[in-house]
């Protein structure tokens, strides 16, 4: 079959025209997608729109990681600061307690020194190191002994009143019998009436005032002090307060005395080096 001669040369020309037309259309569309003052094409804007969340996500992740890291550092700093403040509070509390204790000790020592100056006989200050009020024998141990001049029958007191007497000494320690012990006896007098009697411990926390006649004037609230007639305790030391005075079955009153000293809270004491009466003087008979 024969091909027309004029058809063959037209194909390249038609293809070229089509290509040029497409390029023109693309250029026209590309130029129409530009807005006033806009330098980006629609293709560029499409690509940027599609991939714009990526930098935002990367920035958010980086910012979050940075915030978490700095938050962790701040938390560690706060924890360390809190621990340091807690330790500082403990230290200041301990120092405050020590200062309060020192202030209390100073007040007691000043009161004790002031009280000791009232006595004309030599005195020694000591610290109670052991208190025994639970057994039958009521006593305390003090941290001064024979090396400090402590002797048996030295009187022991504090700013509140009479505590007892020394019954045993070693080089560095002494044992003191309390006036509440059932074997303890003290020559006393009622301050208001000057009536004399004998105070004997009841074995508990109190004492009994003996040898006071039934007709004697004795009232609850009367103060009792040492009479200075027993050869051991000097005169005028507070002993206690009468809490009960009743007529007894015999010729004497039944009198209960509350000691001036709180024996459960004894700390510092004064040892009174009283002048001892020689045995030969006591036993001498003309």
Contact of 205 with 190, CB cutoff 8 Å: no
Query: What pLDDT, in 10s, does the model give residues 209-259?
Result: 999 998 899 999 999 999 988 889 988 889 999 999 998 777 899 999 999
Run of H or E residues at 188:
strand 185-190
Whether 7 has a pLDDT exceeding 80, the answer reads: no
CB proximity list for 160: less than 8 A, separation 6 or greater = 238, 260, 261, 262
The C-alpha atoms of residue 206 and residue 199 are separated, in whole angstroms, by 10
Token digits of residue 38: 């806009």
Token digits of residue 149: 């001049």
Query: What pLDDT, in 10s, does the model give residues 122-159?
Result: 888 899 999 887 777 899 999 999 999 999 999 999 88
Domain ranges of the chain: 123-275
Residue with tokens 């080096």: 273
DSSP for 128-153, written as a single string: EEEEE-SSSS-EEEES--GGGT--TT
Instruction: Read off the pLDDT of each residue in 186-207 and give the average, rounded to a whole number.
Output: 94
Run of H or E residues at 31:
helix 10-32
Q: Domain 123-275: which CATH class?
A: mainly beta
Neighbours of 244 (CB within 10 A): 15
Report the pLDDT value the prediction gives residue 103, as an integer from 0 to 100.
54
The DSSP code for 154 is -
State if pTM tops 0.85: no
Whether 197 has a pLDDT exceeding 80, the answer reads: yes
How big is the chain, counted in residues? 286
CB proximity list for 221: less than 8 A, separation 6 or greater = 241, 242
Query: In 4-138, which ranges are E strands?
Result: 123-132
């Amino acid at each position: 079959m024969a091909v027309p001669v004029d058809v063959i040369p037209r194909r390249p020309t038609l293809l070229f025209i089509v290509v040029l037309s497409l390029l023109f259309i693309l250029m026209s569309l590309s130029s129409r997608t530009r807005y006033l003052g806009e330098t980006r094409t629609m293709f560029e804007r499409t690509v940027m729109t599609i991939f714009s969340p990526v930098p935002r996500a990367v920035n958010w992740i980086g910012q979050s990681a940075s915030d978490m890291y700095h938050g962790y550092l701040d938390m560690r700093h706060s924890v360390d600061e809190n621990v340091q403040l807690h330790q500082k509070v403990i230290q200041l509390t301990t120092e405050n307690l020590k200062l309060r204790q020192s202030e209390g000790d100073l007040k007691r020592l000043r009161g004790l020194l002031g009280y000791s100056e009232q006595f004309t006989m030599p005195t020694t200050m000591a610290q109670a190191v052991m208190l025994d009020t639970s057994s039958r024998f009521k006593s305390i141990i003090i941290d001064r002994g024979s090396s400090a001049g402590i002797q048996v029958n030295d009187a022991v007191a504090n700013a509140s009143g009479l505590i007892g007497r020394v019954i045993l000494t070693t080089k560095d320690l002494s044992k003191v019998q309390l006036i509440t012990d059932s074997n303890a006896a003290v020559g006393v007098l009622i301050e208001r009436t000057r009536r004399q009697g004998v105070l004997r411990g009841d074995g508990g926390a109190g004492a009994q005032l003996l040898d006071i006649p039934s007709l004697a004037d004795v009232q609850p609230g009367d103060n009792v002090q040492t009479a200075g007639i027993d050869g051991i305790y000097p005169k005028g030391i507070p002993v206690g307060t009468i809490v009960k005075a009743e007529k007894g079955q015999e010729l004497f009153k039944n009198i209960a005395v509350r000691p001036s000293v709180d024996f459960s809270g004894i700390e510092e004491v004064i040892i009174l080096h009283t002048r001892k009466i020689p045995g030969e003087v006591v036993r001498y008979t003309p």
